């Protein structure tokens, strides 16, 4: 079950945001999308989810053109963590997480005890079980983000699209979420889920050992393993500031502002 972009052009109406984009993510694989603001990351995700139409090329899910699939079928195969979410009603956090279960229900079915158990398990997994009966709209930005991640996990789709899932999180919760993403891809019990996520922090790609897609001006600038794609030269060119990539004594790579940044 692959999610693929083949020669994909993306944008809104007549405004072209990106062009000739090729990538794929399969269960058991982590793909990390990086690039400066406005390079097309969110627009690409919205196109791969079928939320906006492609302007050219094709998005494929399981080898089938995405435009030919029903929304319910897409939802059973892909879960989504957006950058932000504002519900129209004051739902409890647990109710938001249980919404992830609707993709697995029949048209007129209601969530049952098993769905509630699955939702509670994902909240427990992310350390937010105590938020279950809190008003979601009154939670902090970081707490809401963890609730949205729990909702995506409760959906139990083979593929997950995450648009900057760590953006609102403190250091501890960033580490927690990155650890869970790694477990998703390598979990034998679930045959591994495919994850494609965007981030502004190149260190996350190194930490996850993810396949990197580095975007610039609506095109793919570099791709490959982090050590090959995220060099000082490529990052400096894409972000327009001097960047250093250094290896720590423990063997980890870190990205730092270069002299004069």
Q: How do the pLDDT tens digits run along the chain, 261 residues long?
A: 899 999 999 999 889 999 999 999 998 899 999 999 989 999 999 999 999 999 999 999 999 999 999 988 999 999 999 987 777 788 999 999 999 998 877 666 678 899 999 999 999 999 999 999 999 999 998 999 999 999 999 999 999 999 999 988 999 999 999 998 988 887 644 567 899 999 999 999 999 999 999 999 999 999 999 999 999 999 999 999 999 999 999 989 999 988 865
Whether the CB-CB separation of 194 and 43 falls below 8 Å is answered with no
Which of these, 154, 86, 151, lies nearest to 165 by C-alpha position?
Answer: 151
Q: Could you tell me the residue ranges of all domains in the chain?
A: 3-230
- Domain 3-230, CATH: 3.40.50.300
Handedness of CA 183, 79, 239, 167 (dihedral sign): negative
């Amino acid at each position: 079950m692959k999610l693929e972009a083949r020669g994909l052009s993306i944008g809104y109406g007549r405004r072209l945001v990106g062009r000739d984009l090729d990538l794929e993510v399969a269960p058991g694989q982590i793909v990390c999308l990086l690039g400066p603001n406005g390079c097309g990351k969110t627009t690409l995700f919205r196109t791969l989810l079928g939320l906006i139409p492609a302007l050219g090329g094709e998005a494929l899910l399981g080898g089938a053109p995405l435009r030919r699939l029903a929304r319910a079928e897409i939802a059973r195969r892909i879960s989504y963590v957006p950058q932000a979410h504002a519900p129209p009603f004051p739902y409890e956090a647990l109710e938001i997480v249980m919404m992830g279960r609707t993709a697995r229900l029949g048209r007129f079915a209601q969530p049952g005890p098993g769905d509630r158990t699955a939702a509670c398990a994902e909240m427990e997994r992310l350390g937010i079980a105590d938020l279950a009966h809190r008003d979601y709209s009154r939670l902090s930005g970081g707490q809401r983000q963890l609730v949205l991640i729990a909702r995506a996990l409760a959906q139990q789709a083979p593929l997950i699209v995450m648009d900057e899932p760590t953006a609102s999180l403190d250091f501890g919760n960033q580490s927690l979420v990155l650890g869970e993403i790694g477990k998703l891809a390598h979990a034998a019990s679930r045959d591994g889920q495919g994850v494609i996520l965007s981030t502004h922090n190149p260190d996350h790609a190194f930490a996850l050992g993810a396949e990197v897609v580095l975007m610039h001006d609506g095109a793919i600038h570099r791709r490959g393993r982090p050590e090959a794609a995220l060099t000082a030269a490529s990052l400096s060119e894409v972000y327009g500031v001097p960047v250093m990539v250094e290896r720590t004594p423990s063997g980890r790579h870190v990205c730092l502002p270069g002299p004069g940044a």
